[in-house]
């Protein structure tokens, strides 16, 4: 295979050699791809605008004998410039990119994840509530990767989770209090509100990301739920989530 075109999102970009960048792209048809963008850090490089992290770009790529592809053209479709104006939005957008990067292997394409990521970036760029947009997006990304699980019923007795749920360390499955007690081990309790929010996020159409908001103490609870999922599937949560957790601990004073 030689030259091809595909649309995608820039997940990461880092300096490489004197004027080049190494980029990680998530393409609609080709999935996750590592590529070198030659000369992109020279002044007035025509590739520059299309290779900013999180840009939605029409790429021309070349696959030679090297394991790295080459970016030969990059026409930006949407730069999501408003995300870059705000540290909170940048942090939540970085989490979405990290989850795609860590949940998908190279050339493992997922149009479902791709369109969820684009919708997440669009709604974040529109100014909707960052944690509500980003966590709804991430649950859709996890579902596309097969990691989301379900929150409709107890994994032990199949009963409804009306009174909340319990997640045991290392086993990402929802249990009612009785089933959790029988199984023992260390566990985390989640409120009925958290169960309802997780279910509603998974049901949201991507264009409505941010339409189900979570505020106050529930934000911290939803971050803990996501952290348990990512820890169970990726061994450790992405650094961007740890950063967001610290950011929120300094911002949100939980009522006692």
Residue range at the interface with Zn ion (CB under 5 A); choices 123-131, 152-160, 208-216, 243-251: 152-160
Buried b (16+ CB within 10 A) or exposed e, 152-169: eebbbeeeebeebbbbbe
Q: Compute the least distance from the CB of residue 182 to Zn ion, in Å.
A: 9
Q: Which is nearer to Zn ion, 121 or 176 (CB)?
A: 176
Q: State the number of CA atoms in the 13 A half-sphere of 219 facing the CB.
A: 23
Residue range at the interface with Zn ion (CB under 5 A); choices 15-23, 36-44, 175-183, 192-200: 175-183
Residue range at the interface with Zn ion (CB under 5 A); choices 52-60, 139-147, 150-158, 207-215: 150-158
Residue range at the interface with Zn ion (CB under 5 A); choices 129-137, 169-177, 196-204, 235-243: 169-177
Q: Compute the least distance from the CB of residue 177 to Zn ion, in Å.
A: 8
Among 39, 73, 79, 156, the residue binding Zn ion under the rule CB under 5 A is: 156
Among 71, 176, 198, 244, the residue binding Zn ion under the rule CB under 5 A is: 176
Rounded to the nearest 10 degrees, the angle between the axes of helix 130-144 and helix 192-203 is 70
Is 157 near Zn ion (CB under 5 A)? yes
Cα angle, residue 153 at apex, residues 146 and 210 outer, rounded to 5° = 60
Q: Which is nearer to Zn ion, 113 or 176 (CB)?
A: 176
Residues 41/20, Cβ–Cβ less than 8 Å: yes
DSSP string, 86-137: -HHHHHHHHHHHHHHHHHS-BT---HHHHHHHHHHHHHHHTT--HHHHHHHH
Binding mask 177-196 for Zn ion (x = CB under 5 A): --x-----------------
- Rounded CA separation 123/137 (Å): 10
Total interface residues for Zn ion by CB under 5 A? 6
Is 100 near Zn ion (CB under 5 A)? no
Q: Given the rule CB under 5 A, which residues bind Zn ion?
A: 154, 156-157, 159, 176, 179
């Amino acid at each position: 295979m030689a030259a091809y075109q595909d649309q995608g999102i820039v997940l990461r970009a880092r300096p490489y050699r004197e004027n080049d960048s190494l980029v990680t792209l998530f393409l609609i048809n080709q999935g996750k791809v590592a590529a070198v963008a030659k000369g992109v850090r020279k002044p007035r490089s025509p590739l520059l605008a299309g290779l900013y992290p999180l840009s939605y770009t029409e790429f021309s790529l070349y696959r030679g004998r090297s394991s790295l592809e080459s970016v030969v053209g990059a026409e930006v479709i949407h730069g999501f410039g408003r995300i870059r104006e705000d540290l909170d939005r940048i942090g939540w957008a970085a989490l979405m990119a990290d989850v795609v990067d860590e949940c998908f292997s190279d050339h493992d394409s997922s149009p479902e994840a791709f369109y969820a990521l684009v919708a997440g970036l669009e709604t974040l760029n529109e100014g909707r509530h960052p944690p509500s947009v980003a966590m709804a997006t991430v649950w859709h990304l996890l579902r596309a990767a097969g990691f989301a699980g379900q929150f409709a019923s107890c994994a032990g007795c199949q009963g409804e989770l009306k009174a909340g749920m319990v997640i045991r360390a290392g086993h990402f499955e929802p249990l009612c209090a009785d089933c959790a007690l029988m199984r023992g081990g260390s566990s985390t309790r989640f409120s009925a509100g958290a169960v309802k929010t997780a279910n509603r996020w998974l049901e949201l159409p991507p264009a409505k990301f941010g339409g189900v908001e979570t505020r106050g103490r529930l934000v911290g609870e939803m971050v803990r739920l996501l952290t348990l999922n990512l820890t169970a599937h990726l061994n450790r949560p992405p650094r961007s989530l740890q950063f967001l957790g610290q950011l929120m601990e300094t911002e949100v004073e939980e009522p006692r």
